[in-house]
Amino acid sequence: MIRMELSRILIRETDDTHIVELREADGERVFPIVIGLNEAAAIERRLMGQEPPRPQTHELLANVIGELGYQLERVVISDLQNHTFYARLYLGNGDQVVDIDSRPSDAIALGVATDVPIFVEEHVLEEVCPDQ
């Protein structure tokens, strides 16, 4: 797994295509992924330091995870199949780790909301960034 950092987010007001760009923490590869408007807005809000007056979906999910005695440990974009990315959420509770399937856009938004590391599997990066 390769640790990534949020590099930028592109919200297109006249288009339904929004992009979040992750950059390799200790390298040069850039990983763009198309996300929905709600996830893009949630990520942008968090980056701007704007707390919503009431919990939005990703804050709600983070609260539920915490109330159940877990914490989000990491987000992993784990696979690419038929032009669709897959992600996993890893929740910890002492020595127990629970692995949950997620859409990458939700996983990234949740990861940004809870300030946890985001990773991309090497084989996914190689497929998306073959020349980098």
Q: Where are the beta strands (DSSP E) in 25-81?
A: 30-35, 71-81
Phi and psi (nearest 5°) for 39?
Answer: -70, -40
Q: Quick one: pLDDT band at residue 74, thresholds 50, 70, 90?
A: very high
Residue-wise pLDDT for 29-38, tens only, equals 999 998 888 8
- What is the pLDDT averaged over residues 23-31? 91
Is residue 93 over pLDDT 80? yes
Q: What's the topology of domain 2-128?
A: Bifunctional nuclease domain (3.10.690)
What pLDDT was estimated at residue 70?
96
What pLDDT was estimated at residue 91?
97
Is residue 80 over pLDDT 90? yes
In this predicted model, which residue has the larger pLDDT, 23 or 131? 23
CA distance 122 to 8: 21
Enclosing H/E stretch for 26: none
Domain ranges of the chain: 2-128
Residue 40 in contact with residue 20, Cβ under 8 Å? yes
